[in-house]
Amino acid sequence: MAINVLSPKQIENAKPNTNDYKLTDGGSLYLLVRKSGGKYWRMNYRFDGKQATLALGVYPDVPLATARKRRDEARQLLADGRDPREAKKLKKEDPTSPTFESVAREWHSGTMGHPEWKEITRTKILREMENHLFPAIGSKPIDTLKTRDLLPMLVKMTEKGIGLL
C-alpha cells in the first residue's frame, strides 16, 4: 500500500456522512470522519499479538504533516519493541508526581501510620516491597496507578504466602 496518499485539500473537503468513514493515508494512518463532523487522526497497529488503535490528534489542530510525523514516531517505537500507547501515557505523566516507591516508603516509615510495628515486622515488609513491588511499579507516579496494576502482583504474592501485613 502506498504511503502519504492524502492531500490537505482532500482532508479539508471531507464532509460528514450518514455513517463514520475513514480516509486512509497509508502506513496504518487514517483520518476518521465522524457523522457529527469531527475529524480524528488514528493509527492501527499490532503489539504483542493484539490489535490496537493510537489516537494522534484532532484535525485541524493536528495538520496532515504532524499526523504523519506522529505515525512515523509510533512506527519507530514499534520497531524498537515498545507500545506507542504506553509511551504516550508515560509522556503525559507528571514528573513531579510522587512515585509509588516514595509513597510506600513514607507509609512504611510510620509517618502515615503503624508506628507501633516491631522492627522485625518493619524490616520484613520493606524487604517484600523491595523484592516484589518496587521493581515492577516503584517508579510509576502514584496518581496513575490503577487496581489492575497492583492486583496481579498482590495475588501472586498471596499465592506464594507473602504478605505485607
Q: Where are the domains of the chain?
A: 8-92, 100-159
What local confidence, expressed as pLDDT, does residue 93 receive? 59
CATH topology of domain 8-92: Double Stranded RNA Binding Domain (3.30.160)
For residue 23, pLDDT over 70 is answered with: yes
| Gap between the Cα atoms of 140 and 97, Å rounded | 9
The better pLDDT of the pair 143, 45 is held by: 45
Q: Quick check: 123 pLDDT over 60?
A: yes
Cα–Cα distance for residue pair 63/154, rounded to 1 Å = 45
pTM for the model: 0.56
Per-residue confidence (pLDDT) for residue 136, from 0 to 100: 85
Residues near 11 by beta carbon (within 8 Å), at least 6 away in sequence = 23, 31, 39, 59, 64
Q: What percent of the chain has pLDDT over 70?
A: 92
Q: The cell 493510537 sits on which residue? A: 54
